[in-house]
Structure 1
Amino acid sequence: MDRRETAALLAYIGRLDPRTIRTDQGEARDQLAQWHELLGDVPMATKHGWDARVAARQHIRLSPYQILPADIGRPWESYRLDRLGRHTDPTPSVDPDDQAAWTAELVGTRRAVASGTSQPAQARAITSGRRQIDPELEARLREVGSCIPSAARAALTPYRPARAAREAAVAAGKPDALSVLCPWCQAQPGEPCSRRRVGPDGSARGNVPLATPHPSRRDLADAKQDQATPQPAMA
Structure 2
Amino acid sequence: MDRRETAALLAYIGRLDPRTIRTDKAEARDQLAQWHELLTDVPMATPHGWDARTAARQHIRVSPYQILPADIARPWESNRRDRLQRHTDPTPTADPDDQAAWTAELVSARRAVASGNATPAHHRQITGGRISPELEERLRQVGSCIPPEARAALAPYRPARAAREASIAQGQPDVLAVRCEWCHAQPGEPCRRRRIGPDGGARGNAPRATPHPGRFDLAARLPAVA
1:54 match = 54
Q: Distance in 1 between matches of 2:92 and 2:35?
A: 37
- Cα drift, residue 108 of structure 1: 0.8
- Cα drift, residue 42 of structure 1: 0.8
| Alignment partner of 1:70 is 2:70 | yes
2:198 match = 185
Q: Distance in 1 between matches of 2:67 and 2:198?
A: 81
| Alignment partner of 1:90 is 2:103 | no
- Cα drift, residue 147 of structure 1: 2.3
SS of the equivalent of 1:109 reads helix
Q: Distance in 2 between matches of 1:79 and 1:144?
A: 55
| Alignment partner of 1:147 is 2:176 | yes
Q: Which amino acid aligns with 1:24?
A: D
Structure 1 residues 191 and 37 mapped into 2: Cα distance closer, same or farther (>3 Å)?
closer
Aligned positions of 1:186-201 closer than 5 A: 186-188=199-201
Unaligned 5+ residue runs, structure 2?
126-167, 184-193, 206-226
SS of the equivalent of 1:74 reads helix
Unaligned 5+ residue runs, structure 1?
126-139, 149-162, 168-178, 193-235
Q: Which amino acid aligns with 1:71?
A: D
- Cα drift, residue 93 of structure 1: 1.1
- Cα drift, residue 145 of structure 1: 5.3
Q: Which amino acid aligns with 2:176?
A: C
TM-score (norm 1): 0.56
CA RMSD of aligned residues (A): 3.0
Q: Distance in 2 between matches of 1:144 and 1:45?
A: 60
- Cα drift, residue 186 of structure 1: 2.5
Aligned positions of 1:118-157 closer than 5 A: 118-124=118-124, 144=173, 146-147=175-176
Q: Distance in 2 between matches of 1:93 and 1:69?
A: 40
Deviations along 1:192-232, whole A, 9 cap, x unmatched? 9xxxxxxxxxxxxxxxxxxxxxxxxxxxxxxxxxxxxxxxx
SS of the equivalent of 1:103 reads helix
Higher helix fraction: Structure 1 or Structure 2?
2
Count of aligned residue pairs for this structure pair: 147
Q: Distance in 2 between matches of 1:18 and 1:4?
A: 20
- Cα drift, residue 88 of structure 1: 0.5
Structure 1 residues 145 and 187 mapped into 2: Cα distance closer, same or farther (>3 Å)?
farther
Structure 1 residues 69 and 114 mapped into 2: Cα distance closer, same or farther (>3 Å)?
same
Q: Which amino acid aligns with 2:68?
A: L
SS of the equivalent of 2:175 reads coil
Percent sequence identity over aligned pairs: 72
- Cα drift, residue 30 of structure 1: 1.1
- Cα drift, residue 188 of structure 1: 3.1
- Cα drift, residue 191 of structure 1: 7.4
Bigger radius of gyration: 1
Deviations along 1:22-78, whole A, 9 cap, x unmatched? 111111111111111111111111121111001001111111111000000000000
